[in-house]
Amino acid sequence: MAVHLSAVRALGGFPEPMEDLGTGHRLFLLGADLTATSVAVLDEPYTEPSGVTSLHALAFTASARPDHHAAAIAHLPTVLSRPAKAVLVVREWADEAAWLIGAPLAAAAVVSAWWAGPAWTVAAAAGMLLHGPVTTARLLALAPALHRAVTAPPLLGPLPWTSPAHPSALIAASPFQPFVRLAGPWRLIFAKVAGRQRGFGKTER
């Protein structure tokens, strides 16, 4: 995310624990003009499920309370009406709810399709294949082309390149990806219920 320095100062700096998500929420609530860019970003690779679950716990923490983001920028001028801001907050809560219960509900629908009849079984199997193996295989095929399209600054030299050691295993395991994404937020919720508070932020990392 690229943000004008004046906008960051108006927001009071980058909010923790995940500055891009928090800043994005606050800019949306202010009605800021955001646009996509064609610039590619080389992100850190996650080689273990624990790293991915921690990342999603971090993202969930940054997004779970959009009302806090709304309160933090309530004193700033905005082009959005109060109902429009409320809709954005409710939409984010709906996204978080779908994050927490979406994968179990989808899995239950796939399993129950067997008893609903052959047509539903075919539809459920097609949906699972498209969401997991087909999409994963397509992304793995596109990755080399995306990497070749990036021009590194002259002083950096060749860009690093990593590839999965077992792409077939990655494709086969892809239907379980939503549950890996789900593990971080639920682990965080259970830790808070048990009284084990976790304080972390990208700056601290």
Q: Is residue 46 a part of any domain in this protein?
A: yes
Query: What pLDDT, on a 0 to 100 scale, did the predictor assign at position 204?
Result: 46
pLDDT digits (tens, 9 = 90+) for 57-111: 888 888 888 999 999 888 998 888 999 999 999 999 999 888 888 888 888 888 8
pLDDT digits (tens, 9 = 90+) for 9-54: 888 888 877 888 888 889 989 988 888 777 656 566 677 777 778 8
Q: What is the DSSP string of 42-110?
A: -PPP--SHHHHHHHHHHHHHHHS-HHHHHHHTTTS--SS-HHHHHHHHHHHHHHHHHHHHHHHHHHHHH
CA–CA distance, 113 with 122 (Å, rounded to integer): 8
Q: Decide if pLDDT at 201 tops 70.
A: no
Q: Is residue 134 a part of any domain in this protein?
A: yes
Q: Is residue 199 a part of any domain in this protein?
A: no
Q: Is residue 73 a part of any domain in this protein?
A: yes
Q: Is residue 61 a part of any domain in this protein?
A: yes
Total structural domains within the chain: 1
pLDDT digits (tens, 9 = 90+) for 121-170: 888 888 888 888 998 899 888 888 877 777 766 766 666 666 666 888 88
The answer to whether 184 and 57 have CB atoms below 8 angstroms apart is yes
At 16, the amino acid letter reads E
Q: Among candidates 34, 21, 31, 29, which has minimal Cα distance to 60?
A: 21
Q: Decide if pLDDT at 200 tops 60.
A: no
Q: What is the DSSP string of 53-71?
A: HHHHHHHHHHHS-HHHHHH
Query: What pLDDT, on a 0 to 100 scale, did the predictor assign at position 86?
Result: 92
- pLDDT band at residue 195 under the 50/70/90 scheme: confident
Q: Is residue 203 a part of any domain in this protein?
A: no
Query: What pLDDT, on a 0 to 100 scale, did the predictor assign at position 159?
Result: 63
Q: Which residues 6+ apart lie within 8 Å of 36 measured at CB? A: none
- Identify the domain containing residue 152 by its residue range: 5-193
Q: Is residue 184 a part of any domain in this protein?
A: yes
Q: Is residue 205 a part of any domain in this protein?
A: no
pTM (two decimals): 0.71
Q: Decide if pLDDT at 205 tops 50.
A: no
CA–CA distance, 99 with 181 (Å, rounded to integer): 8
